[in-house]
Structure 1
Amino acid sequence: MAVAQIDYSQAGELKIGQVGIANLRVRTLDVAQLAQEMRERVQRAPKLFERAAVIVDFGGLAQTPDAATARALIDALREAGVIPVALAYGSSDNEKLAVEIGLPLLAKFRAQYEPAGGSTVVGGASAPTARSEPVVGAEAPPPTKAAPAAPVAHGGQPGLIQTAPVRSGQQIYADNRDLTVLSTVGAGAEVLADGSIHIYGALRGRALAGAQGNEKARIFCREFHAELVAVAGHYKVLEDIPKELRGKPAQIWLENEQLNIAALD
């Protein structure tokens, strides 16, 4: 008796960019599968993804889709619960497509997918370089056991220090540097940094380190309850994180294109 093989590969790779906007790089142009994957993401974390703004990136395909297929995908994503707001910049064909379907082009999200040192893009297409929704790996102890006592400079600039609590609806962004929060990050709040993020209180909102693609950035917190954490676009939501890590001091880092989360001793 033949055993049916299950294909676990995903058609779309979702990353979280600056200001919480998600970038969906299409790896397989299967409208039904892409819509189903997005629907499942919304169902798993409705507070984060329901009616969320999404940038659609066709840069992982060998050929830019035609307008009819692109419109079908945009409609399907809307029905799945998110709001496509733009296309990621790519080839001249991609620019023409954006005009045809009436969406703007955004360029800055695209760079987060390219490997360090730059890669050659031929015909507007580049190979995907990251896995979608990397697996949490808490088995290996992190190399650093505690957050540094002072902010670490990133890009030659002093770190940004936030002394007051970051409350719901607030957003703090450390441009080209690390961010240190001396208090708490409340539910519904968002902290972003191009470098690492150090939180000396509870993290209940969102923390996005390496916002411009720095894969060496890390997140440290004294009490982990995060709605979402991301390093260089690789993200995890609270629903995906083992319960034994919740409420504990934690470190989040990226290694071999997998997001790792471990308790700090």
Structure 2
Amino acid sequence: MSVAVDYEQAGELKIGQVGIANLRIRTLDVQRLTEEMRSRVQRAPNMFGRAAVVIDFGGLSQTPDAATAQALLDGLRDAGVLPVALAYGTSETERLSQALGLPLLAKFRASYERGEGGVEPVAAAPAAATKREAAPATVAAEPAKTSRSATTPAAAAPSSSVGLIQSAPVRSGQQIYADNRDLTVLTTVGAGAEVIADGSIHIYGPLRGRALAGAQGNTKARIFCREFHAELVAIAGHYKVLEDIPKELRGKAVQIWLEDEQIKIAALD
């Protein structure tokens, strides 16, 4: 008598692209780090509340002991975020991850390597799909307020590659990535959606989600949109959330660029 064999998997595992944040520790002061994170969550709860965070100890001269690292994890959870992994660094980091019961993340698809300590959005690389080896993402400084009197500079140089054109709306939960080129979205980027480009981003409809240009560190990249309601915008790792943006710019056609390591936003005439 033949026995039927069920080859269908109970769970389907896929290696995909996941929005994640990377916290690079510059000063191992648990109380200060906790309060900084609590402030970020309070200022932008929709962005950082219960956000997954990777802890990167690569900015320290010495890897912390397990007790100190655990105190930091507990403090960050109490502040409102969820530490989910350590960024790969040294053999000491690997042993620390085992002691804490956390995985190591060794690659990031979008690497933001500008500024001092802080938190910035990054995206984890598909394990077998990334061609270039990227160092663990560092983080940008907490941005200063946008200068309302900033003058509009000359346009950024075009990407050397043919741009990616997205004709359909980018809906909540979707992520579009233009690898080594510009991205043009002909319609809407919805709330909860994310568009990322190594070059510049052009959006010909409302921007309600997140837009991250210069993902591999191109400080000349820009973001242009017809109707500005963004949850977050970033260029080469420097970012602003909606709560940091002057109300008079919301709903306007704007361009966004980086100047003196600060995000600048100006209305388009």
Q: 2:168–2:187: 8 Å Cα contact kept in structure 1?
A: yes
Distance 2:92 2:153 in 1: 45
Alignment correspondent of 1:73: 72
Q: Which amino acid aligns with 1:113?
A: E
- Give, in whole Å, the separation in 1 of the partners of 2:257 and 2:205: 19
**Whole-Å Cα distance in 1 between the matches of residues 209 and 255 of structure 2?**
15
After the TM superposition, which of the residue ranges 219-228 and 133-142 deviates more from structure 2? 133-142
> Partner amino acid for 2:145?
V
Deviations along 1:162-214, whole A, 9 cap, x unmatched?
A: 11111222221112211100111111211111211110111111111122222
Answering whether residue 52 of structure 2 is matched by residue 40 of structure 1, we say: no
**Given that residues 134 and 235 in structure 1 are in contact (C-alpha distance below 8 angstroms), is that contact kept between their aligned partners in structure 2?**
no
Matched, 1:136 2:146: yes
Pair 1:22–1:180, CA change in 2 (3 A):
same
2:113 aligns to what?
Answer: 113
- Choose from 235, 257, 269 the match for 1:253: 257
Q: Quick one: distance in 2 between partners of 1:129 and 1:170?
A: 24
For residues 38 and 87 of structure 2, the distance between their equivalents in structure 1, rounded to whole angstroms, comes to 21
Q: Which amino acid aligns with 1:141?
A: T
Q: What secondary structure does 1:201 align onto? A: strand
Aligned Cα RMSD in Å?
A: 2.3
Residue 32 of structure 2 corresponds to residue 22 of structure 1: no
**Which of 214, 227, 231 is equivalent to 2:231?**
227
CA distance in 2, matches of 1:130, 1:204: 22
- The normalised TM-score by structure 2 is 0.78
Aligned residue type for 1:227: E
Q: How far apart, in 2, do the equivalents of 1:175 and 1:129 lie? A: 21
CA distance in 1, matches of 2:152, 2:36: 31
Are the counterparts in 1 of residues 114 and 237 from structure 2 also a CA contact under 8 Å?
A: no
Larger Rg: 2
Q: 1:35 to 1:225 in 2, by over 3 A?
A: same
Gaps of 5+ in 1: 1-17, 116-127
Q: For residues 229 and 111 of structure 1, do their structure 2 counterparts lie closer, same or farther at Cα, with a shift above 3 Å needed?
A: closer
Preserved CA contact (<8 Å) 1:211 1:233: yes
- Is 1:242 the counterpart of 2:246 in the alignment? yes
CA positional deviation for 1:133: 2.6
User: Which structure 2 segments of 5+ residues have no match?
Assistant: 1-16, 116-137
Shift of 1:226: 0.4
Cα distance in 1 for residues equivalent to 2:60 and 2:78: 23
Q: CA deviation at 1:130?
A: 4.7
Determine the C-alpha separation between the residues in 2 that align with 1:106 and 1:259. 28
Preserved contact between residue 169 and residue 189 of structure 1 (Cα < 8 Å): yes
Offset of residue 230 of structure 1: 0.9
